[in-house]
Structure 1
């Protein structure tokens, strides 16, 4: 017995894939939004040692 026509799924994401690949192929030709550019250029805080110590303290069950 075959499936009913309503049970067959078409590929609705085909247009989404085409749009995605079109954006992907443009690459760096388009400049990103100024906010994204600012986020990518800001200095990163690499003080992970203190953060790891706090996570370990919480994991051991010691509350402040």
Structure 2
């Protein structure tokens, strides 16, 4: 199990790009331009299979001054 959880630097970049795209553009966005879709799907499946990440939650960004009440 421990070996399965190790990620290469490229795989970490894939995950970060996918998270960034989902946070900025929403859940329906396709794979960002940095990697091809097959690579994203393979790496993200590896992440889900490892149990490290179980789901994504997208929260709307706070408008400036909104959080300071």
Q: TM-score, normalised by structure 2?
A: 0.28
Higher relative CO (Cα under 8 Å, sequence separation at least 6) belongs to 2
